[in-house]
Structures are given as C-alpha cells and as structure tokens.
Amino acid sequence: MKDRVVVVAGALYDKGRLLAARRSAPAELAGRWELPGGKLEPGESPEQALVRELREELGVETEPVARIPGEWPLKPGYVLQVWTARLVSGEPEPLEDHDALRWLAPHETDAVDWLDQDRPAVAEAARLLRER
Ligand code: CDP
C-alpha cells in the first residue's frame, strides 16, 4: 500500500534500560514521551530509516534487533511500527524533536507520560527488557 506513511520508532536498549524521549513539538504532543523515530523516506527500508532517524535525532549509531509485532494507527494515513534496537556507539543527546531523554530501568518504564499510540509497543518492549 503506497498511500500510507510508515513511521518507524526504536525501543533503544542499553545496559538493561530503555530510552524514552520527550517531544518538544508540535504543541499537541510537546511534553509527552515517545520512542524516538520518524517517517520512512522513499527507497528506504524500515531498518535503514530507523538507523538514520536515531542518528539525526540523538547522534548515536544503533543496530535494529527485531520488529515488535503489530502496527499502530497515528493520524489518518500514518502507521507506527516499532523495532527494538541496541546502542552501538555514542551517548544519546536531544538534538532534534526532543527536549529531554531518560534511560528507564525495567521497573521504571511506566514512569513517564508516553504518547497513547506508543503505549502498546512500550509495554511489549518493557516485557522483553525484563526477560533479558
Ligand atoms: O522526523 P520525522 O519528521 O520524519 O517524523 P516525526 O515528526 O518524528 O514523526 C512523524 C509522526 O509520527 C508525528 O506525528 C509523531 O507524532 C508520530 N510519532 C508517534 O506517534 N510515535 C513515535 N514514537 C514517533 C512518531
């Protein structure tokens, strides 16, 4: 289906923790927390888009690990897909789209106000983190 936009987001793990990013824009989403990511560009695979988005937004190199099964609707015409990923190098910084970052230990994954659409994937990412 060409008429829908895929947004890929990363459940980024490092040292047994999950990264949460607080959106700085747009106004209706600012202050809410998300799994960082963004829209696929033409010709990109979801994994390539994820690596690019995390590099642009956080300044880190990452490696996608596995897709979290499922797909979640965003605004009309947009769907969210989520991959787990591991931090390969760098320390994430909020370079674009975010004004705060937080590494969450397994027992803290409910501690931030996640965007509604991210919650099912966060729950699964947290479950995987606890199992590791
Ligand atoms: O960086 P780019 O402009 O490609 O995308 P974005 O603005 O970060 O995300 C595109 C859309 O997906 C926005 O409407 C975000 O709110 C939404 N999104 C989301 O709902 N959950 C995420 N984890 C990431 C993005």
Q: What is the pLDDT of residue 3?
A: 77
Q: What is the pLDDT of residue 2?
A: 60
DSSP-based three-state secondary structure for 59 = coil
Q: What is the pLDDT of residue 19?
A: 98
Q: What is the pLDDT of residue 26?
A: 95
Bridge partner list, 7: 39, 80
> How far apart, in whole angstroms, are the C-alpha atoms of residue 110 and residue 77?
28
34 CA to centre of own chain: 6
Interface ipTM > 0.95: no
> How far apart, in whole angstroms, are the C-alpha atoms of residue 57 and residue 107?
26
Angle at the Cα of 71 from the Cα atoms of 12 and 3, rounded to 5 degrees: 115
In which residue are the tokens 């994820």 written? 50
Q: Whose CA is closest to atom 15 on ligand 1?
A: 38
Bridge partner list, 123: none
Residue 75: DSSP 8-state: S
Q: Which two tokens stand for residue 93?
A: 């910084």
Q: What is the pLDDT of residue 44?
A: 97
Rounded distance from Cα 10 to ligand 1 centre (Å): 11
What is the pLDDT tens value at each position of the chain, 132 positions in all? Answer: 567 899 999 999 999 999 999 999 999 999 999 999 999 999 999 999 999 999 999 999 999 999 999 999 999 999 999 999 999 999 999 999 999 999 999 999 999 999 999 999 999 999 999 998
Ligand 1: lining residues by beta carbon, under 6 Å: 7, 9, 29, 34-35, 37-39, 74, 80, 97, 115, 117-118
The structure's pTM equals 0.95
Mutational test site, ligand 1, from 7, 83, 84, max ligand atoms within 8 Å of CB? 7
Using the atom order of ligand 1, give the atom closest to the CA of residue 53. Answer: 1
